[in-house]
Structure 1
């Protein structure tokens, strides 16, 4: 199991209201864990961006998601593991938008996959119950690869009293 540590935290005053304060990593991490929908940005072999919505869970200090081995995002990550996951409220004047930059690591360890599968079930319900075997998720005759993205850098964009916090790990 991966342990988490507190990142370096800084408010970027160039993009923040004069009265803004930093957002704590605890609040950022809780926002990442609670979000229902995320946007994954990857890069195709020819350099074009690829963005897709997906569901994910926070487990062992990282955002974890699954995808079919032939899906575009899986092919992109096999070529270039650097990616960005974003989530937020989708409104202008309230809430906290979050961005995680990192490298997607393919998870093959069945014990880790078991923890991630349990997190999916707890968060999204029995519709998202996966069997774990042979280093992957299995559901209704389909196989899914599981990736984890531990933050290298993350950003919190507070709205209302606008503040941009950067967390470096």
Structure 2
């Protein structure tokens, strides 16, 4: 899936003088390397739901999976808009990342296999997935796989302090 580069801006109100915008390529690398991310969804009654999970970055976007009977899957069925975050839990140093977007279910067998391979490469054989019924077969049943199509993302640098915003063209 080919995407054009996002529009990158820095908001100098929220950073050190002279801080530069974080390049999108750097943000992607950091997100791809993160062991854990936090997914925020909205329950059908409008209440928020946040949970930690594993993610992989492939073809310009983060991907997540969740059991078909889990709260996340029910929330995504009702409202596909999400926020995925990761970063360093420290005041000084690191880069916190926030990706706002729309969760799109992945069912194509070739894409699913590429994602299953990416999960195992990143997290080891403990996270090996076989394909079944348009998702990942696991010990606890079927896991649905989603691509988070970014609409807006933010990078919060903490050495120096900075706030970068990336806006993506409509798909």
With the length of structure 2 as denominator, give the TM-score of the two structures.
0.95
TM-score, normalised via structure 1 length: 0.97
Query: 2: CA distance between counterparts of 1:78 and 1:36?
Result: 26
Q: Which runs of 4+ in 1 moved over 2 A?
A: none
Aligned to 1:7: 6
Greater displacement, 83-92 / 134-143: 134-143
The size of the alignment, in residue pairs, is 168
Aligned pairs for 1:112-151 (under 5 A) are 112-140=111-139, 142-151=141-150
- Contact in 1 for aligned 2:132/2:142 (Cα 8 Å): no
Task: Show CA shifts across 1:17-48 (max 9, x none).
Answer: 11211000010010110000000000111111
Structure 1 alignment gaps of length 5 or more:
none
Mapped pair 1:43 → 2:42: yes
Alignment of 1:89-108 (within 5 A): 89-108=88-107
Deviations 1:42-75 (A, max 9, x none): 0111111100000000012211111011111110
After superposition, the C-alpha distances for 1:102-160 in whole angstroms (9 at most, x for unaligned) are: 00001111110001000000000000000013211002362100011021111110002
Structure 2 gap segments, 5+ residues each: none
In 1: Cα distance, 2:135 partner to 2:79 partner: 20
When the two chains are superposed, the root-mean-square deviation of aligned CA atoms in Å is: 0.9
* 3-state SS of 1:150 partner: strand
Structure 2 equivalent of residue 17 of structure 1? 16
Deviation at 1:76, TM superposition (A): 0.5
